[in-house]
Amino acid sequence: MASRQRRMTLPSTPGRAEPIHKPAQKTLSDPAHGAAFIFVHGLGDTAEGLEDVADQFQNNNKLPHMHWIIPNALENRDAMTTAWYTPTQLSPFANDRPELDDPEDEEGMMNSVKYLESLIDACGKKGIPPQRVVLGGFSQGCAMSLLTDLTSSKYAGRLAGIIGLMGYLPLCNRLPDMRAKAGLPVTHGDVPIMLARGQKDTLIPKRVWNITLKQLEFLGVGSDDLIVKEYEGLGHSLNGAVMKDMCAFLERVVPSLED
């Protein structure tokens, strides 16, 4: 008989709202046969903003073996809203004097990486190994998912997959040094990545999107491991086509296993 489903114990951070946890609908005797999707919201949002996506999946019995973990960012004093890091302007045009660009908030980003690592740790304590954990997010959540996959000394190259929706790759020029400092190989490895962008997304300019794709290629992400989707008529938001593609990706990287 299958064991009783235990609720996952997730880390608590002072000042941070608790994550939303949607337990797997299917009870498994071996938790290693389960899966988890850590789904990270964007700037100015909360976990509740993405909860409907999880509900739609579960109401349609999609990936019933998978836990949904939707964390909350802290309030950011500089941004005056919830944020995983202090945002900088993403311009559609290259600056003739890039030295005058506002510096990216590397400290804030790496603090958020540590928090996301703690959520993956919690999955491990539940019995779900890293290779059955998908990390993904929207906008800033996309940026944090990619950054964690590329720089985490604990989990880079070890997760089941990465989903980046309507976002970009931050700290592009710093990544080789950051990987070296973390003791990681020069190239990324074979973790599957799905990236999605709306063709009318003015918040993630095409120039920034192209830089992201170029940097991932430089870091060794091959075409076999990267799925790139662009959606005609879509702005900085999600729609049914995006969620359909996300579902197909999740079913591929964390399929149901015999229990």
* Mean pLDDT over each residue of the chain, to the nearest integer: 94
pLDDT (mean) for 205-219: 96
pLDDT (mean) for 206-229: 95
Write the burial class of residue 109 (CB in 10 Å: 0-12 exposed, 13-18 middle, 19+ buried): buried
pLDDT value of position 99: 65
Reading the block at residue 147, the tokens are: 């950054």
pLDDT (mean) for 171-180: 96
Sequence-distant (6+) residues with CB within 8 A of 71 are 19, 38, 40, 41, 47, 115, 116, 119
DSSP 198: E
Q: Between these two residues, 7 and 46, which has the higher pLDDT value?
A: 46
- Cβ 169 vs Cβ 216: under 8 Å: yes
- Cβ 159 vs Cβ 135: under 8 Å: yes
pTM: 0.95
pLDDT tens for 62-108 read 999 999 999 999 999 999 999 999 999 898 877 777 766 789 999 99
Sign (positive/negative) of CA torsion 94, 196, 172, 45?
positive
pLDDT value of position 95: 75
Percent of the chain with pLDDT over 70: 96
